[in-house]
Amino acid sequence: MFKPGHITLELALAAPSSLLMLTLFDSNTWWKSLLFALAAAAANTVLSVFTGQSSLPNIFLALGRGVTSALLAFLLGLTPFFRTTFGTLVGFAFLLTAGGLVLNYFAKE
């Protein structure tokens, strides 16, 4: 079930992670990183609605959130618009997974 504040929580998780990993370490501009964070938050929200959040353990939800965002960053990095490296993708996935565990812990009903 979609909750209205879910995309806001996803964006609150993805935006600082994106600014830290993709702007600071890969030298992307801040607005590109925030646009990516918005796309990653939307993708994670759609996937969590389709998979049914309550049916999966927290670790799988958090891993899915991190891997989905890192895969999206990798695909965007294949274009000349965005720059990514393997190390920042791994760090980005780890940071979102850790943040996702905290988010799932506090956002459960």
**Closest to 51 measured CA to CA, from 40, 60, 39, 42:** 60
20 has a pLDDT exceeding 60:
yes
Establish if 80 belongs to a structural domain: yes
Tell me the pLDDT tens digit for each residue of 54-109.
667 778 878 888 888 888 889 988 988 888 889 988 988 899 888 888 877 776 64
pLDDT of residue 58: 75
Spell out where the chain has E strands. Answer: none
User: Band of the pLDDT at 9, cuts 50, 70, 90?
Assistant: confident
Q: Residue 8 — pLDDT band, cuts 50, 70, 90?
A: confident
- pTM reported for the whole predicted model: 0.81
How many domains would you assign to the chain? 1
| Structural domain boundaries, residue 20 | 6-107
The answer to whether residue 39 is domain-embedded is yes
Distances 67 to 11, 40, 43, 56, 79 between C-alpha atoms, Å: 16, 11, 11, 16, 19
Does 72 reside within a domain?
yes
Residue 67: inside a domain: yes
pLDDT at residue 99 in the model: 85
Q: Is residue 32 part of a domain?
A: yes
Q: Is residue 1 part of a domain?
A: no
Model confidence at 31, pLDDT cuts 50, 70, 90, reads very high
Burial class of residue 105 (count of CB atoms within 10 Å of its CB; 0-12, 13-18, 19+): exposed
Q: Calculate the dihedral angle through the C-alpha atoms of 9, 71, 99, 82, rounding to the nearest 10 degrees.
A: -80
For the cut 80, the answer to whether the pLDDT of residue 51 exceeds it is no
